[in-house]
Amino acid sequence: MSRTTVATIHLGALRHNLALIQRTAAPSRVMAVVKADAYGHGLERVARALDGQAEAFAVAALGDGLRLRAAGHRQRIAVLSGPDQPGDIAEMQRLDLDAVIHHEAQLAWLAEASPRRGRLRVWIKVDSGMHRLGFAPERVAAVHAQLAAMPGIDPQIGLLTHFAESEVFGGTVTRAQIERFNAATAGLDGPRSLANSAGLLGWPEARADWVRTGGLLYGLSVVDGKSGGDFGYRPAMTLSTRLIAINRIRAGERLGYNGTWTCPEDMPVGVAAIGYGDGYPRSAVAGTPVLVGDRRVPLVGRVSMDLITLDLREAPAARVGDRVTLWGPELPVEAVAAQAGTISYDLTCGMTRRVLFVEDEG
């Protein structure tokens, strides 16, 4: 089957973005966060593109660490939610992965496993206020002491926390999280890591020893009203398809499922070969921007599984076969996400297996 919907991954943009992150963060070091199949861009593809440049990777789960090692990457790899079961500890040691420990159960597994061959590198995840994963601040010193006493644990025990809303620059929530983290870790030895992408941009005092950037690596931003491009980052994904029909629809006729949009006049309506079956968000509302050639036109009617409909009144030169761009360097994915009630990360992570992935050096 030949597929019309294509996600083009821009390897040059990935390299540009990592270099900019590294320059911005310096002297802090950078973990390139490649969880969730590198935010939908393809884990092996992204890691290969960044291999000569990335000092460390971070993944959500052990399986992704295994994939990176199998692909030959030798950098440090942090597994952000650590071992999920006791047997994972030996596997993490075999693969030389950094384990992020966030729960008493993991501590017990470590004590039990007493890693022998070499020393397992461990980070303590501190819950500084997000209340998802992590040890309560008052437990941190004791956990640190317990780990330091285990012979199989590398004595350089890391200290890590995660922000709940670092994209609100100057906000009180992140300020309080930084203070809680600093208080909980005061006097303890070991590298520290607090900032995600928005933390890097908006909270220089939280750069510490390592920043963990995902979104910015792909040119994505979660800062309200801003795209990655506003901070000098380049989108690493273009999602495109073709126009497969142009129909003239009469004034007063309703378009698509449930007729949610009514033509205000006799008008040309374009049909593009993409829908929620490819990962384009069904929640995108009328008015969501789409590019036909280099013309910006509004989406109209419901997004269906395979198709979307477009108001072509402002694109009189459009022809069947024209390229249709859903997001990319010329149309920030953040602008689409805002119209779909979600964030850019959700859209790039949502590409389905029907989409053909290709690469370019751009």
Ligand X SMILES: *Cc1c(COP(=O)(O)O)cnc(C)c1O
What is the helix (H) or strand (E) element at residue 59, kind and residue range?
strand 56-59
Alpha helices, H only, the chain: 11-25, 35-39, 43-50, 62-70, 88-94, 104-113, 140-148, 172-185, 197-202, 333-339, 344-349
Minimum distance of ligand X from residue 88's CB (angstroms) = 17
Catalytic residue numbers? 35, 257
Closest distance between ligand X and the C-beta of residue 132, in Å? 9
Nearer to ligand X, 128 or 182 (CB): 128
Write down the least CB distance from residue 264 to ligand X, Å: 41
Give the separation between CA 279 and CA 117, rounded to whole angstroms. Answer: 44
Q: How far is the CB of 223 from ligand X (least distance, A)?
A: 10
Identify residue 80 by its one-letter amino acid code.
Answer: L
Nearer residue to ligand X within complex by CB, 41 or 162: 162
Mode of pairing for the β-strands spanning 76-79 and 254-255: unpaired
Nearer to ligand X, 194 or 307 (CB): 194
Q: Is 305 annotated as a binding residue?
A: yes
Q: What are phi and psi of 17, to 5 degrees?
A: -65, -45
Q: Which residue is nearest to ligand X (CB)?
A: 214
| Contact criterion met (CB below 8 Å) for 309 and 338 | no
Cβ proximity to ligand X, 228 vs 275, nearer residue? 228
CA 119 to CA 285: how far, in whole Å?
Answer: 53
Q: Work out how close the CB of 345 gets to ligand X at its nearest, in angstroms, rounded to a whole number.
A: 6
CA Rg, the chain, in Å? 23
267-272 vs 237-249, strand pairing mode? antiparallel
Contact between residue 123 and residue 140 where contact means Cβ atoms under 8 Å apart: no
Could you list the residues that contact ligand X (CB under 6 A)?
33, 35, 80, 162, 196-198, 212-215
Q: Is 167 or 322 the residue whose CB approaches ligand X more closely?
A: 167
Q: Which residues are annotated as a binding site for substrate?
A: 132, 305
Q: Which residues are annotated as a binding site?
A: 132, 305
